[in-house]
Amino acid sequence: MSLLRMVGRPMLASMFVAGGLQSLRSPQQVAPAAEPIVRPVTDRVSALPDSTEQLVRLNGAVQVVGGVLLGFGRCPRLAALAVAATLVPTTLAGHRFWEAEDPSERAQQRIHFLKNVSMLGGLLIAADDTGSSPSLLWRGRHAAHGLRHDAHLVHRSVRATARPAATAGGVRAKLGV
């Protein structure tokens, strides 16, 4: 693992571990702000709990687990995607700058909104980072290319040996051997 990954992943994950722990400990502080985002989602997805506080806790738990995994470099791509998925509703619920009346409050919420968008970008980059190893897609394409190449070589080899064998068989048949 490179030094940048070893330092950068825990730095990126730290905000989610801290925020997730806060949501786990006291979801009642966040639940009122999350309500406008939670209601439409729970109405459409029956598998989710109806309580806003439970969803805030679930969101916090995913952030803590994903942040810890990302910070330690365990399943970092999956962890980054999981944390990114939690960041979208968190941002939409917590930093609705377009609804703020006070100009200074609006400016503060816009800054936090853009900070979260920036963190989302970092998480997406982390989710795409293969750690200098080839991605599964590249490995699959490379293996398919190798198989096509090998099949082509086998085909040429069979054609190259089949013609002389057929000729030799024809000569043997004419000679009666």
Residue 152 tokens, joined: 């082509």
Average pLDDT over residues 77-103: 92
pLDDT in tens, 4-50: 888 999 999 999 999 999 999 999 998 888 888 888 888 888 888 88
Average pLDDT over residues 113-124: 95
d(CA 59, CA 90): 8
Query: 95, 34, 76, 36: which is closest to 59 by C-alpha?
Result: 34
Q: How high is the pLDDT of residue 16? A: 95
Question: What pTM was estimated for this model as a whole?
Answer: 0.71
Most confidently modeled of 33-37, 62-66, 145-149, 173-177?
62-66
Q: How high is the pLDDT of residue 51? A: 87
